[in-house]
Amino acid sequence: MKLLKHHIIAIALLSCTVGIAQQLPQFTQYMYNTISINPAYAGSREALSIVGLHRSQWVGFKGGPITQTLSAHSPLRNDRVGLGISFIQDDLGPQNFTYLYGDFSYSIPTGQDGKLAFGVKGGFTQFSFDSDFRFDGANINDPLIYGTQDRWSPNIGAGVYWSTNRLYLGLSAPRILNTDLNQEEGFEALERVSYYFTGGVVVDLSNSFKFKPAFLIKATNGAPLSYDLTANFLFNEKFWFGGSYRINEETGAIGGIVDFQISRQLRIGYAYEKPISDIASYTTGTHEILLMYEFKFLNSKLKSPRYF
């Protein structure tokens, strides 16, 4: 059993690099962390928005991914222009990825209350490998396991984002270049190109309740399509609660989400996921905590809370 567990760990942690590549981290609360995948989202909340997120995936599973993000974005005085910056630290067992990217967006009005934004993203990705990580029986001369040095590589991304007060759609590719993060001979560690299609809507059920379904479809070169579906309810403009379901050909998960709008500026959220694949027997699940603080006093026209 111990040997089987080690084999499963090895497959799960190295499957994204054997031969080729790394995918961007995934989030349950993607609808509140859109700036990490779509630069056109910068400034869309019409306030200085700061978001911090911590995700511990597959708790109890040795080497399970741990992801931390910190981002900030805001419109400028010319409210058609938005700027943002995002930092992501993604630890995947022996692999470590750090993303530091800046965002620029420009929006044009569409219809009575709609906006269509175009965005570009640019920055650097760091890739490193922890040489202290060991698998029983691993070949010490294997360059995939040992000897990889730190690498900083530039990359760019682009996206579009259309929104009204109750509806949004987005399409983006946050990393466009197939940068090789490894410089050792014998294998490549390429950044894969991932395409994200997102959307959501808010529907009034009563004076106190609103319903917000949302989706994220992710297409990555060399990987199966991934579908994230969420359904949340808002009570009295203060309390969000709902569920999530992730589907792809290799793994899947079901989960729950709760969010509290503590004040006009502060929101806190928590999400829990349970895998529905073979790995479920080796983990108690995934935990994700989100903090969002917004300087809404910068714009007296803002509604509270914003729905996305």
Task: For 204-241, write each residue's pLDDT tens digit.
Answer: 999 999 999 999 999 988 788 999 999 999 999 999 99
Position 249 in a domain: yes
Predicted local distance difference test score (pLDDT) of residue 22: 54
| Cα–Cα distance measured from residue 102 to residue 88, given in angstroms and rounded to the nearest whole number | 12
Of 287, 281, 288, 286, nearest to 9 (Cα)? 281
What is this structure's pTM? 0.85
Position 18 in a domain: yes
Domain that holds residue 244: 2-298
Of 249, 116, 251, 225, nearest to 171 (Cα)? 116
Residues in a beta bridge with 97: 90, 127
- CATH number of the domain residue 56 falls in: 2.40.160.40
229: which residues sit within 8 A by CB, 6+ positions away? 213, 214, 215, 244, 245, 246, 247
* Length of the chain (residues): 308
Predicted local distance difference test score (pLDDT) of residue 49: 95
Average pLDDT of the segment spanning 189-205: 89
Alpha helices in 2-153 (DSSP H): 2-14
Predicted local distance difference test score (pLDDT) of residue 13: 45
3-state helix, strand, coil split of the chain in percent (to 5) is: 10, 55, 35
Position 74 in a domain: yes
**pLDDT exceeds 50 at position 4:** no
* One-letter identity of residue 76: L
Give the Å distances, CA to CA, from 29 to 26, 34, 36, 307. 9, 9, 12, 13
Average pLDDT of the segment spanning 112-124: 95
Average pLDDT of the segment spanning 155-180: 92
Predicted local distance difference test score (pLDDT) of residue 242: 97
Position 77 in a domain: yes
**pLDDT exceeds 50 at position 153:** yes
Position 149 in a domain: yes
Predicted local distance difference test score (pLDDT) of residue 222: 77
Q: How confident is the model at residue 128 (pLDDT cuts 50, 70, 90)?
A: confident
Q: How confident is the model at residue 21 (pLDDT cuts 50, 70, 90)?
A: very low
Of 99, 31, 102, nearest to 267 (Cα)? 31
Specify the range with the lowest mean pLDDT, choosing from 89-103, 188-202, 214-228: 188-202
| Cα–Cα distance measured from residue 49 to residue 72, given in angstroms and rounded to the nearest whole number | 6
**pLDDT exceeds 50 at position 276:** yes
132: which residues sit within 8 A by CB, 6+ positions away? none
Residues in a beta bridge with 260: 239, 268
Contact 31, 308 (CB under 8 A): yes
Position 97 in a domain: yes
Contact 126, 179 (CB under 8 A): no
Specify the 3-state DSSP secondary structure of 306: coil
Position 143 in a domain: yes
Task: Say how many CA atoms lie within 13 Å of 307 toward its Cβ.
Answer: 23
Q: How confident is the model at residue 130 (pLDDT cuts 50, 70, 90)?
A: low
**pLDDT exceeds 50 at position 3:** no
Query: How do residues 59-78 score in pLDDT, each as one tens digit?
Result: 988 778 999 999 999 999 88
Predicted local distance difference test score (pLDDT) of residue 180: 63
Burial readout 37-62 (b: 16 or more C-beta within 10 A, e: otherwise)? bbbbbbbbbbbbbbbbbebbbbeebe
| Cα–Cα distance measured from residue 266 to residue 68, given in angstroms and rounded to the nearest whole number | 19
Q: How confident is the model at residue 254 (pLDDT cuts 50, 70, 90)?
A: very high
Structure tokens at 23: 């995918």
Q: Report how many domains make up the chain.
A: 1
Position 308 in a domain: no
**pLDDT exceeds 50 at position 290:** yes
**pLDDT exceeds 60 at position 147:** no
Percentage of the chain with pLDDT > 90? 54
